Amino acid sequence: MTVSRRDTTARKDKSGTLQPLLAAFQFLSRFPVRAELEFTPDLLRRSTAYYPLVGAAIGASVWAGGWLAAWLLPPLPAAVLALILGVWLTGGLHLDGWMDTADGLLSYRSREKMLEIMKDSRVGAMGVLACVLLLLLKASLLASLLQGDMVTMGLVLLMAPLWSRWFMSRAMYRWPKARQGEGLAAQFHGFGERDAWGGTIMAVTLTVMVLLLTLLLSLGEADETALLRSLLYIVVAPLIAWAAGTWAARRISAKLGGLTGDTYGALGEGLEAVLLLLAVLILR
Per-residue pLDDT tens digits for 130-185: 999 999 999 999 999 999 888 888 899 999 999 999 999 999 888 888 876 665 65
Q: Tell me if 61 is assigned to some domain.
A: yes
Per-residue pLDDT tens digits for 216-238: 877 766 577 888 888 999 999 99
Q: Tell me if 36 is assigned to some domain.
A: no
Q: Over 90: is that where the pLDDT of 203 sits? A: yes
* Torsion sign, CA atoms 55, 60, 61, 65: positive
CA angle 132, 90, 204 (to 5 degrees): 110
Burial class (CB in 10 A: 0-12, 13-18, 19+), 125: exposed
Q: Tell me if 88 is assigned to some domain.
A: yes
Q: Tell me if 159 is assigned to some domain.
A: yes
Domain with 70, as residue range(s), is 52-164+189-283
Q: Tell me if 177 is assigned to some domain.
A: no
Q: Over 60: is that where the pLDDT of 10 sits? A: no
Tell me the longest C-alpha to C-alpha distance in the chain: 67
When pLDDT is averaged across residues 17-37 and rounded to a whole number, the result is: 87
- Look at the chain and report how many structural domains it folds into: 1
Q: Quick check: 97 and 264 in contact, CB under 8 A?
A: yes
Note the pLDDT of residue 18: 85
Q: Tell me if 16 is assigned to some domain.
A: no
Q: Tell me if 115 is assigned to some domain.
A: yes
Q: Tell me if 208 is assigned to some domain.
A: yes
